[in-house]
Amino acid sequence: MLSKLDKRLSIDAIVGHLSDGMTIGIGGWATRRKPMALVRAILRSTLKDLTVVSYGGPDVGLLAAAGKIRKLIFAFVSLDHYPLEPHFRAARQAGLPVLELDEGMLHWGLRAAAMKLPFLPTRVGIGTDIIKQPIFRTVTSPYEDGEELIAMPAIKLDVALLHVHRSDERGNVLTLSPDPFFDELMARAARQVFVTAEKLVPTAELDLPRQARYNLIERTLITGVAEAPFGAHPTSAAPDYQLDLAHLKTYVDSAASPEAWAAYRKQFIEVAPESYLAAVGGAGKITALPVPVY
């Protein structure tokens, strides 16, 4: 069988590759470089019962508000400038099942999966309530120190969803922001990886001899790629564009009542990706957003 090297898909076609009950890792970090166009497409789909793994921001909030999550594996969910994510809070307070981790444990669990190991040892979690969750086991160092450590289990993903800045049609990708977060580990921990890219370009335009440091993963890992200009909005995809703080406020306000959520959903979710951009003010407005202060 010939492998398919043209991996271009539409956003909805990517969602068509997902199925109920999957464990899905979502790249980025809180308010930065979240594959939001894909998340919105999941909200429009019939997908359900997902286990979501994320350094969480509005991706988790939206999926939780829409009842898509069966279980959340997380270390935090935050909008940074609004530290408490209102949709996540509501879901959590209604009893959304979780595995709560330390940020570094989440990293370690993905790394174990990426290395095809059952676990990686760590001190993180010792002395806390994190390790009272039933999944955790300890392991004793076989060396002279004999230290008891936490065996952080591998977090294996069915799918990783990532947002990148550039890609060619084969899935050679560039992540241009200064902090790549843990997208690479998400990709390596997953059976399939789908990316949205700000811009699809010919391979030569990736300028890999100079930009290779921004190429986090090999195309052999990438299953499909969709062009999604402003696909991270309202989160940032710096240096292309910054966080939309005004929209974040609109988003936060949407948790105030079922009516507010329905109105937000109608205006910003139940619209085609092409119409979303107009709904949030257009390309010119988003590219002109100022650099936020953290």
Residues at the site binding another protein, with contacts judged by CB under 8 A: 29, 56, 74-78, 83-84, 88-89, 92-95, 100-105, 107, 122-130, 148, 178-182, 293-294
Q: Apex CA 294: angle with CA 41 and CA 239, to 5°?
A: 60
Contact partners, residue 293, CB within 8 Å, separation at least 6 = none
Contact partners, residue 222, CB within 8 Å, separation at least 6 = 7, 167, 170, 171, 173, 187, 193, 194, 195
Return the number of the residue (5 or 135) whose C-beta is nearest another protein: 135
CB-count burial class (<10 Å; 0-12, 13-18, 19+) for 128: exposed
Residue 254: CB minimum distance to another protein, A: 18
Spatial separation of the C-alpha atoms in residues 291 and 234, rounded to whole Å:
13
Return the number of the residue (96 or 200) whose C-beta is nearest another protein: 96
Residue 151: CB minimum distance to another protein, A: 14
Residue 131: CB minimum distance to another protein, A: 8
Residue 109: CB minimum distance to another protein, A: 13
Residue 80: CB minimum distance to another protein, A: 9
Return the number of the residue (29 or 251) whose C-beta is nearest another protein: 29
Return the number of the residue (22 or 136) whose C-beta is nearest another protein: 136
Residue 25: CB minimum distance to another protein, A: 16
Return the number of the residue (35 or 180) whose C-beta is nearest another protein: 180
Both tokens assigned to 208: 């890999």
Return the number of the residue (83 or 118) whose C-beta is nearest another protein: 83
Return the number of the residue (97 or 118) whose C-beta is nearest another protein: 97
Residue 174: CB minimum distance to another protein, A: 16
Question: Which residues on neighbouring strands pair with residue 54, listed in sequence order?
Answer: 26, 74
Return the number of the residue (181 or 264) whose C-beta is nearest another protein: 181
Spatial separation of the C-alpha atoms in residues 292 and 236, rounded to whole Å:
10
Residue 43: CB minimum distance to another protein, A: 21
Contact 174, 167 (CB under 8 A): yes
